[in-house]
Amino acid sequence: MKLLLSNDDGVHAKGLTVLRQFCQQAGWDVQVIAPDRDRSGASNSLTLTRPLSPLYLADGAISIDGTPTDCVHLGLNTLCPYPPERVIAGINAGPNLGDDVIYSGTVAAAMEGRFLDLPPLAISLAGKHHYETAAQVLIELLPKLHVLQLAPRTLLNINVPDVPYAELAGTQITRLGHRQRSDNPVHAQNPRGKECYWINAQGKGADAGPGTDFYAIAHNMVSITPIQVDMTGHESIDALKEVLL
């Protein structure tokens, strides 16, 4: 299997390092192309106002001074030394549950691989400790997913509890839950007296019952959620036609 790996935590992030090690140990060809720094929350943004400069690292990885989407876009179209079969983004430090996928650079990096025959994967750890657990989950899933037939432009969002592998309680196929609104931004002043704001922590799970990704993680189960790139509200088309046409 030929893989393109990326993330939003930066090219030197532990999660990406562990993911790369496990994939290489499994015998797969791996090319890492990732941001030169933490770009969490970058979503699907592309850098269009300046050129991007790749930095070729001693370990074979490529660092890009841009967003996660930039990295995968460049990888698929010019920088990867082989045609990748699948894009994998992660292992993210922290979960990507429910509304998080709107903002997540990890999910966005995976989404940029939507044109390949094999569905891209975003994998996140619900914490910052047991990256090996998430990597082992992925290694076991990939051979099964290799024969999986999904609708075009579908990606899989995988979240793994931050526990030792032996403590996992299984796997659930889930839907996205929903969060409450986040708290108000934190107002502050910088040392020069200039007004500034810190974006506050994400809201708690509001729709987090059985069947959701929130519920699976809360019960130490791996969550796998298929995500459609097509964001059309198909169920609303007929209602709009009745009122507007």
pTM of the model: 0.92
Contacts of 12 (CB under 8 A, 6+ apart): none
Please write the tens of the pLDDT for every residue from 89-148: 999 999 999 999 999 999 999 999 999 999 999 999 999 999 999 999 999 999 998 888
> What tens digit of pLDDT does each residue of 21-51 get?
999 999 999 999 999 999 999 999 999 999 9
CA–CA dist 230, 245 (Å, integer): 23
The amino acid at 221: M
Dihedral (C-alpha) 30, 33, 147, 139: value to the nearest 10 degrees? 60
Q: E strand or H helix at 218, and its extent?
A: helix 213-218
| pLDDT tens sequence across 166-185 | 999 999 999 999 888 878 88
Distance CA 190, CA 167 (A): 44
User: What is the C-alpha to C-alpha distance for residues 7 and 13, in angstroms, rounded to an integer?
Assistant: 9
**Closest C-alpha to 220, from 157, 173, 165, 140:** 165
